[in-house]
């Protein structure tokens, strides 16, 4: 195996370790009665090169190689679970998981307010029907 192949094999092994399923589907986060699971898109890139050359004036040969790689993770969605209810919240272009998590209390509060309004309207309707 030439040096470039060895470098590329090592890079891919390291990047594969970083891009496990656990990286794409994040660890659950408990927020009150919600369990939130972040989902990310993972992109990988690698490159390597190598060569062997001769220097006739120095009567010698040489070999060299190099490589590089990178990984990029973008949060794309949050899965919110509450009791038996599951909701997927897609993050917009340029969405930030940090911003979304910061907004979760507002989201929970507005959801609870809507649920309370629905419950109260149902209760009022039942009371009117019972009269």
Q: What's the domain range around 115?
A: 3-130
How do the pLDDT tens digits run along the chain, 131 residues long? 766 677 777 777 777 776 666 667 888 888 888 888 888 888 877 777 778 888 777 777 888 777 777 778 788 888 888 888 888 888 876 555 555 556 656 666 666 667 667 777 777 787 777 66
Strand partners, 88: 79
Give this prediction's pTM: 0.47
3-class secondary structure, 28: coil
- Using alpha carbons only, how large is the chain's radius of gyration in Å? 27
Split into its structural domains, the chain has a count of: 1
């Amino acid at each position: 195996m030439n040096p470039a192949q060895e470098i590329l094999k090592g890079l891919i092994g390291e990047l594969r370790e970083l891009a496990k399923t656990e990286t794409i589907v994040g660890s659950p986060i408990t927020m009150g009665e919600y369990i939130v699971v972040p989902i990310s898109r993972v992109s990988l890139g690698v490159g390597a090169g190598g060569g062997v050359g001769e220097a006739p004036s120095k009567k010698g040969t040489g070999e060299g190689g190099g490589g590089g790689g990178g990984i990029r993770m973008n949060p794309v969605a949050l899965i919110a679970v509450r009791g038996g209810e599951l909701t997927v919240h897609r993050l917009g272009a340029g969405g930030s998981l940090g911003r979304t998590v910061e907004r979760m209390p507002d989201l929970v509060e507005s959801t609870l307010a809507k649920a309370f309004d629905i419950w109260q309207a149902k209760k009022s309707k039942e009371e009117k029907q019972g009269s």
